Chain A
């Protein structure tokens, strides 16, 4: 392994008094900590050690928690063509989110993200590129756009909208996602569209949606003000760090009890356990069983929150009205056609739960391989009244949970939460903790009726873009800011398909003549092959490096003003502070060039603010509605971005309201807040209902169903159980799950690939193996191992479901729709008790060795989402890594030492 070792520096400059100070927020995880950027010309003098001589007003050496610049928080970038010092450190003055000016290692190193010709960011894409004779060759914007547009138009005309596939990030700023979705959904109008983390345009948490819960209703305060907090499928310390350190940790210090449902014990969970928490260390995919059992114990003891249930749970007639739009044609209704989920209310649910053999605590504990006592203990903590008082309970979930048994788990947790009275009161909430930030703003509706895919029942299902591509229907793949291939399960098979459709097709560009290029690419599409265009900040392998025919360089964080919200719907302006490399442009501008060339109207924005202002109207129904900020801005004679800039790192929580009389803007602390009273309405000037452009939707004080109450749903294990049993490790197989570590954010293009300190910490692909499993296989820490399987199930066909069970795994298997792939990847072994015996836990997104190769490519049979966390494999030693003898890089110390 070749590693560029981090060179520890023992100096960092302090910003001078007169440095420019700009606010932004972190580019990485959902928490979106507030940051300050200090900028001063390299020619100017640095700040001095005296408080009067530096921008912080702090005497150096400083004290604990005071401003400080680590060497890794300084960079030299160009601004308006001139070299400037840039220091990016957490904002010590912010009133929310990262109170105390806290930050994680990821955000802490943000300064290194910015483009500088002298650092590893020097390979940022700078000009459009077109592949000629297999080589990506620089080309002018005009020509590159014309090539993409001409081929795109041709594909649309000749092969139809569904042949134009678009795979895009869902989060990389409101201006960009608005432009992309306006283009894709309103103008191209293709059903062959989805976001970076799903095969199809589907919800991440079907159970939340169908029960009536928003994913991001809670405020960060709620996670620390519960008395019992249940955390499912994540260690927030690892993946939304400051939410843990600034909100959950203080809660624990105040006596909050925490229950973790997770096969692994990482640093945060170890801390929770040390503080007396309860760790339910389940087998992957067995959450549903354990939750069903906990709920049963609560109901059998009569610990349910009857007042809450009486007031807020739909009865038979109410639940018949589903989630709105009448009783028939709603997503909820079509999914529940056979009464699989719908109940007539609490008693009906209880009856159902008690009848399911698998929710007997003993049986659930056995399958999950946990101590059954933990089920009873959890039930007590969640719901048992103490001295006549119910505990205030909150529940947060994330991907380890909802990407294991997507529908079953999210249904089960919604029911458990509702029975405990969690969901609509301060400190009593249900929500996602979140992964990436929330920068999505839809500019068009998904054309569901054009999808070729249908589950049994009335409605069409969003098209599975991977399966569609597998079957050769995608002729033009437009990929925006995602690797697509590595981030989907069964990656090695998907890569082979790309290779076949793109590289092995006989129609390859051999000339630099524009007309010839266009003609060749049209022929490729017509011959059954595929043309790929790619917008990104770096050339990603293989999507850009091997497959793209046209590549457009994108500008990103810190280079253009953008807006985005976090996991409590807090909107901020992420300010530009340095130049984008070369001719790179923001994605909205690339889309606008392309759209105009395609002949579409309404894409001639002049700057980022204009895009945001156009988008605001479409945000009004959403959880981060920012329209009223624009209204306020215009009344004050400002632009939307200007107004957002004034709000700095505090920003404002969507949905936003505006009091036309007092000129005050209001954010919304939480959604579904059943405690909001007259006082707040009066303050907002809304005591007689919404005024002018204000919208005050049902979700503010009620739930997202027709009646505004919760649908208490069944969560049958049987929908998933056949797959789980089939998948469960046989003989010497182990479960294979995967996820992230604290030090690395998502795909790693910034950190593992371009920050020497992080590459030194994580120099290669890795896998955690429990000491008992390792011993049996003769594996030690720092050995190189191979993980392999010949049982990677791949659902390969686009089918129209007719019978109720058509999409059930065992039926798919019987009818020949499942193909068993082989895959193998190598990794450095970390032998550690942090992972459960029988479970391997691997890096989720090593670009060269995607662990997703071994995860199941069988979407959830109801939601259409992938269960990325599920896989099995064998493991064997293939040698030793250099880290066995060399102490410079990596670490094998367990993450659960407290």
Chain B
């Protein structure tokens, strides 16, 4: 596993907000063609709530280069920290072997990024990535066995957590993959951004 630690602070997500928002809608909620058409009605990004959601998920988050698409190998997570190098920022990006996922990027939409910290009580999920047939999960958490579905935005498969595993919003520019935001609160923080 390689570590990429380049934070491109100048290219903040905010600066890109205008052009990426539509794309992000599609990226995060790509449920095949049918769902892509219906993304507009999703609570998360619809109508007036949008501004607030944008604030919550994107505004203020660093835009951080975390991987190169061409270097990602199937089922080999690459570790990085996000949104900062402080406590509970450990995360990973993985290419899930051509199995499409909600929020996935890349030509197969199989590249996703998630927090490594279990949202139950902070258990470490490093080395728990698993692929079985067309299912992709993280878990069981070594502490109390929570398992998360990486194809479905980190929703709990079975277990204890109080919310989905935080998924990182990704953007692709050429071969570069950037993390630009987080869905959900990282364990142990009361705000994701605590600069």
Contacts and interface: CB of A to CB of B under 8 A. Distances in A.
B164 to A, nearest CB: 7
B29 A68 contact: no
B152 A888 contact: yes
A724 interface: no
A897 B140 contact: yes
A237 interface: yes
A862 interface: no
Interface string B106-146: 00000000000001111110000010100111011001110
Contacts of B88: 61
Contacts of A890: 152, 155
Interface in A221-274: 237-238, 241, 245, 249, 266-268, 271
Nearest to B84: A61
B185 A12 contact: yes
B34 to A, nearest CB: 5
Contacts of B57: 10
Contacts of A66: 122, 188
B39 to A, nearest CB: 9
A851 B57 CA distance: 40
B interface residue count range (under 10 / 10 to 19 / 20 to 34 / 35 or more)? 35 or more
Nearest to B109: A887
Interface in B181-195: 182-192, 194
Given A63-B188, A760-B155, A898 B160 contact: no
Interface residues of A, number: 61
Contacts, number: 190
A202 B52 CA distance: 55
B56 A10 contact: yes
A820 interface: no
B34 A885 contact: yes
A891 B157 contact: yes
A742 B145 CA distance: 12
Nearest to A108: B162
Contact of B160 (A6, A14, A104): A104
Interface stretch (A70-78, A186-194, A448-456, A479-487): A70-78
A171 interface: no
A665 interface: no
Nearest to A104: B160
B25 to A, nearest CB: 12
B157 A895 contact: yes
A741 interface: yes
Main secondary structure of the interface of A (DSSP, over half): loop
A105 B86 contact: no
B189 A888 contact: no
Given A10-B57, A10-B185, A66-B188, A267 B35 contact: no
Contacts of B86: 61
Interface string B17-43: 000000000000111111100000011
B44 interface: yes
Contacts of B136: 893
B151 interface: yes
A545 interface: no
A893 B185 contact: no
B121 A13 contact: no
Contact of B162 (A109, A238, A271, A887): A109
A660 interface: no
A887 B30 contact: yes
Contact of A72 (B153, B157, B163): B163
A742 B159 contact: yes
B161 interface: yes
B139 A897 contact: yes
Q: Which 4 A-B pairs have the closest CB atoms?
A: A887-B102, A886-B31, A64-B122, A885-B32
23 contacts: A5-B42, A6-B163, A6-B164, A8-B164, A9-B185, A10-B182, A10-B183, A10-B184, A61-B186, A61-B189, A63-B87, A64-B188, A70-B119, A71-B184, A105-B156, A267-B147, A268-B145, A885-B33, A887-B31, A887-B151, A891-B152, A894-B135, A895-B147
Interface of A: 4-14, 49, 60-66, 68-73, 101-105, 108-109, 237-238, 241, 245, 249, 266-268, 271, 741-743, 757, 760-761, 882, 885-895, 897-898
